[in-house]
A and B are shown apart, each in its own frame.
Chain A
Amino acid sequence: EDQVTQSPEALRLQEGESSSLNCSYTVSGLRGLFWYRQDPGKGPEFLFTLYSAGEEKEKERLKATLTKKESFLHITAPKPEDSATYLCAVTFRDDKIIFGKGTRLHILP
């Protein structure tokens, strides 16, 4: 069954405490993996697209990496404004798309 699983479901970190969020997938014919950030009451905001294993993308304190079975979103020295839900999505054969259920990240000052 085609599936996207994100872990952990929720994560509380102290400001400055680096960590990683995981997105694992079981789909055939991967076309792309996407990371989004969603703040309460708003739509998801696009962060990164990754297309092939070994690819990495960076933006400020965030770095996304991709392997053949999973992706990691590394957060370095996070700040309270990084608190949000982070969503992973995968597009695969026939342009189908599946979203993970997200990781709720809370950064404590």
Chain B
Amino acid sequence: KAGVTQTPRYLIKTRGQQVTLSCSPISGHRSVSWYQQTPGQGLQFLFEYFSETQRNKGNFPGRFSGRQFSNSRSEMNVSTLELGDSALYLCASSLALGGYTFGSGTRLTVV
């Protein structure tokens, strides 16, 4: 059974650019959530989607957005990148509350 797939694995962007990250959940999982992980702040919740609807949102600025498609695949977008957006971005999918399976993440570096 394939796990959660995130692409790309690594990304380098310049300040002011925008970026789109992709996540393919485990087949049959309809909930997809996104997290930002940094050494200083740890893992922080960005948002969660279920059946193409945003169900929950963390405390991040509007530059961070996401969407989910009918096949449950999800994308997150960060516009007007700042140096502080450099982080590991993790996607997780689940069937039920809390039993999340995480992908390996996308390492974003903003220069």
Residues of A with Cβ closer than 8 Å to B? Answer: 31-32, 34, 36, 41-46, 49, 87, 89, 91, 94-102
Tell me the interface secondary structure of chain A in the complex: strand
Q: How far is the CA of A91 from the CA of B35 in the complex (A)?
A: 14
Q: How many of chain B's residues touch chain A, expressed as a range? A: 20 to 34
Q: How far is the CA of A109 from the CA of B5 in the complex (A)?
A: 34
> What residue of chain A has the Cβ atom nearest to residue B56's Cβ?
A95
Q: How far is the CA of A62 from the CA of B105 in the complex (A)?
A: 26
Tell me the interface secondary structure of chain B in the complex: strand
- Select the residue from B44, B98, B99 with max chain A CB neighbours within 10 A: B98
> What residue of chain A has the Cβ atom nearest to residue B4's Cβ?
A43
The answer to whether A100 and B56 have CB atoms under 8 Å apart is: no
Contact with A along B70-99 (1 / 0, CB 8 A): 000000000000000000001010000111
The answer to whether B43 and A99 have CB atoms under 8 Å apart is: yes
Q: Say yes or no: A101-B42 contact (C-beta < 8 A), given A41-B104, A96-B56.
A: yes
